[in-house]
Amino acid sequence: MRHFLTLADYSKEEILDITKLAIQIKKETKAKIFKPYMPHKTLGMIFEKSSTRTRVSFETGIYQLGGVGLFLSSNDIQLGRGEPISDTSRVISRMVDMIMIRNDSQKELEEFASYSKVPVINGLTDMYHPVQLMADYLTIIEHGLENNIKATYIGDGNNMTHSWLMLAAKLGFDLSIATPKGYEVDQEVLDKALGFAKVSGSKITITNDPKIAVKDCTVVTTDTWVSMGQEDEKNQRLKDFEGFIVDKNLMSMASNDVIFLHCLPAYRDLEVSEEIFEQNSETIFSEAENRLHAQKAIMVWLDQKRDEK
Ligand code: CP
Ligand code: NVA
């Protein structure tokens, strides 16, 4: 049985297999062909943090696959009142076929998975957001950039940055990351990614200068400067991130065929200018839609792996 906790656990071939499945499932969905890949299966969806895309895409996705989603807000289940993760996992995984969880800590996610009888999917933690990156990769392919990815991440060294690091390092494309001083990526994650990059041939560049990072790249991406749970740091962060906005000036230094991605929610005129956001809105909202298709593929793949033995 496999879990989907971080792309660090996945080989290039597996990431490409899941992506291939996502392309096929998307094609079927667009043709209104809803094959029951997971009939009568239940997906438990535990949320300790807010969500729009993750909730709607997983719930719609499992329904379209022939199953049903169970929305479990930690405010409503006993987990929120102190029932241990280990007990919650042992109970829920005896009743459902797969679990998606959005929680604070990657460590707790791993603990949850270690007690689970069914595959567990990371719906975002403090360290990683791997399902988002599968949607982002699908979007990149759809823009014909599969063999020409030179990606740049501008902003906070957070869960999204770590996930970009893993995707690049596993698939072998180049990635430059520009963060303000003091907001760099986690050193342990970086070291791990550099290890994978050695094998895949990916060139990882880390800088504090967005202009250096963005030069000639074909994919620019960013994320909020204030992630969920960091609301108290907002004022300080807005000061520290000055000069890191993705705007017309910065985008003009990228390649001519550059695309802009954003996992959303986006904060206009903070991490991205209103102008750049709106100019790229078709791509950004396709990226959001691709959450549905990519995650259906992840669920089907995990379900099939479970049956293999
Ligand atoms: N990008 C993303 O995960 O969005 P939500 O927080 O709305 O799920
Ligand atoms: N870095 C953001 C991503 C939101 C999808 C957060 O963790 O809040």
Q: Using alpha carbons, select from 173, 121, 119 the residue that is nearest to residue 146.
A: 173
What is the number of the ligand closest to the CA of 224? 2
Task: Give the mean pLDDT of 285-304.
Answer: 98
Q: Where in the chain do CATH 3.40.50.1370 domains reside?
A: 7-129+290-308, 132-287
Q: Tell me what percent of the residues of the chain surpass a pLDDT of 90.
A: 99
Architecture of domain 132-287: 3-Layer(aba) Sandwich (3.40)
Q: Quick: pLDDT tens for 98-152.
A: 999 999 999 999 999 999 999 999 999 999 999 999 999 999 999 999 999 999 9
Mean pLDDT of the chain: 97
Lay out the sheet containing 120-122: strands in order across.
Answer: 68-73, 42-47, 98-102, 120-122
Task: Give the mean pLDDT of 213-235.
Answer: 98
Active site residue 53: no
Architecture of domain 7-129+290-308: 3-Layer(aba) Sandwich (3.40)
What is the number of the ligand closest to the CA of 229? 2
- At residue 225 the predicted structure's pLDDT band, cuts being 50, 70 and 90, is very high
> Does 247 score more than 70 pLDDT?
yes
What confidence score (pLDDT) does residue 307 get?
81
Q: Quick: pLDDT tens for 155-178.
A: 999 999 999 999 999 999 999 999
Please work out whether the CB of residue 124 comes within 6 Å of at least one atom of ligand 1: yes
> Does 309 score more than 70 pLDDT?
no
Active site residue 81: no
Alpha helix segments (H runs only) across the chain: 12-30, 53-64, 85-92, 106-115, 130-142, 159-171, 187-200, 210-214, 234-240, 248-251, 274-279, 281-307
